Each structure stands twice: as C-alpha cells, then as structure tokens.
Amino acid sequence: MKCGIIGLPNVGKSTIFNCISNFKVPSYNFPFCTIKPNISSVKVPDKRLNKLKLIINPKKVVHAVLEILDIAGLVKGAHKGEGLGNQFLANIRETQVIIHVLRCFKDENIIHVEGNVNPIRDKEIIDLELQLKDIETLEKYIKKYNNDNNIIDLLKLILKNLNIGKNIRNIPLSNNEFKILNNNNIQLLTSKPIIYLCNTDKSNINIDLIKKLEEEKTPILILNAKSSNIDSNDVITKLINSIYFLLDVKTFFTVGKKEIRAWTIDKCCTALAASSVIHTEFKKCFIRAEIIHYDDFIKYGSYSKAKEVGKVYLEGKNYLIQDGDIIHFKHNA
C-alpha cells in the first residue's frame, strides 16, 4: 500500500514525514523544497505479532509495511503544470490513500504561499486543482468511450459532479460503478480516500474548519508537527488505523520457527488470492488452506492443542480470509 502526503508548500508535510519515518529529509522555509517525493517504508504496528513471538520464538518477525510518499507542495495552476504540478499530480496517482496536511498554525517566520494562514481556503485550492485534473482526465476518456453506453453515462455523471465542485469520493457511486472505473484503469485523484491532518495544537484548532471537514465523514487528525512532545509511534498508529479503516483491509499471518509474518489483503480476499500475495506460483498449484484463528492460537497456546479441540480448519480456494487468520497454504509446487 502507498500513502501520499499532500498539501500546499510550507504546511509541514516533510516535518510530518520525518516524524512518521524517522528520516531527516530537508524541511526549509521556501516553496518546493521537495521536488522528487521522499519515500519511506513504515512498519505497521500489530501487537498480535508480539504475542505470537512469545509463543513461537521464531528467528525473525516481519511486519506488514506501508509506503509513505512525501509529495511536493501543490499550488494554484498545478493541473496546468504550474510549480511542476503535472509531476506532483502523477505522484498522487500512484497512491491508494491521501493524507492532506492543512496548516493551521501561525508563524511569521514561515512563508505561506498565499500570504496568510487560512486552512479552509487552502483545502479548497487543493480540492480545485485535483478536480480540474480529474475533469481533464475524464474529458479524454469520454472521447475514447463515446460509443460505449456501459461506461459513458457513468463518466458523464462523474464529470457533472466535478463541474459543481464535488470530489468523486463524496459522490454516492455504487461498488459496481467504482469497479467499472478500476477495470478500465481510470485513475481519478479525487476518488482516493483521504485523511485530513491539521497541523497545529488542539487548543488552536479552527472550529469552522473541523465542521467543514466532518461533512466528508473521513478521519481527521490534529498534530503539532513541531512539538517536542510528539510520540512518533502514536502518530504512526493513528495514521495506519485510519488508513486501514478507509481501505477496509485485513491482516493474516503465516507462522513458523523461521519466521512470523503479517500480510495485508483486501477485505474480500479469498484463500486463493491470499496465497498469491505470498508467492505468485502458489495460485497455480493451490490445494487448500489450513487455518486457525489468532484468538484460538493464543487461547490454546499451540497448533497441536488447537487442532485437538477442532479449531484448525481446512478451507478451499473460495474461503474468504478473516482478519487474524493464521494460514498454512498447501500446494503442489
């Protein structure tokens, strides 16, 4: 999974990236300090791995990882290429989730590209730039699919909403309609799930901003990126919990004396699909999945004891993986 940190220049994106990743990327007081996106792989905290480690005592424990991209600041006209906008918008297109950082703090020593601090206006600037880029993308696809009635009505509906200032994620599209977009590889920026991160102390938060953000029914985090009291683990945990909530993903485990590993999958992932996450060849030679749930493994303390009481199950390729399943895939590779 990839998550992109976006916002106007000088709102604290790189400072937050440093906090999450423990990197020390430049964070200077001028626009476009970041040009190419900084990338970090962050371990997904999961206390269940610690408990499994105590029981199994493996040689190593491997966490699921999340890639975080620190994307350069967008400005007015980004959709037309202003401020290297085309490059930065392409970086956003690579991600599954957006973290939109809004500057809510006042500091005369830190330049604001719009001249003053106004997070509601700043949000609207970014929204508009992403919407305009999506309009440009959709107009190209409408020409391409002009004779395909199965998709053209959907594209025109989305375009109509974009033209009145709505983000696609806030349009009530069905799962099937989103599937049509995905199947045709139509990647639209404002369809991506979003987390708003307000860069300020909780005591200084703009109430009108919070009310506006709450209308979108999406996670809102408040963080003073320059505070000396920031607990990076706490920040990471809150962000990842929000990302997992938005994407509605699950975790399964593979366990053994050599390694315990956590794997992230989509909510409707089958045993067959999950096997290919481990190795693409497993999908071709899948026989069955041997499954014990994490809670049962912890309760009985071992695979053999859980099996004695009937808590180990053999499932076929269409079994839907549950969060916390411990799986051993049987295959003939």
- Delimiting residues of CATH 3.10.20.30 domain(s) in the chain: 268-331
**Class at the top of the CATH hierarchy for domain 268-331:** alpha beta
Q: What is the pLDDT of residues 223-279, one digit of tens each?
A: 988 876 778 788 888 999 999 999 999 999 999 999 999 999 998 899 999 999 998
**Whether CATH 3.40.190.10 fits 2-247:** no
- Provide the percentage of residues in the chain whose pLDDT is more than 90: 59
33 has a pLDDT exceeding 60:
no
Which positions ≥6 away from 175 have C-beta within 8 Å?
Answer: none
- Delimiting residues of CATH 3.40.50.300 domain(s) in the chain: 2-247
Q: What is the DSSP letter of 270?
A: B
Q: What is the pLDDT of residues 173-201, one digit of tens each?
A: 998 898 899 888 899 999 999 999 999 98
Q: Where are the alpha helices (DSSP H) in the chain?
A: 13-21, 47-56, 85-93, 119-144, 149-163, 175-183, 207-214, 232-247, 271-278, 280-284, 294-300, 303-308
Q: If pLDDT is split at 50, 70 and 90, which confidence band does 31 have? A: very low
154 has a pLDDT exceeding 90:
yes
Q: What is the pLDDT of residues 264-298, one digit of tens each?
A: 999 889 999 999 999 887 878 899 999 999 999 99
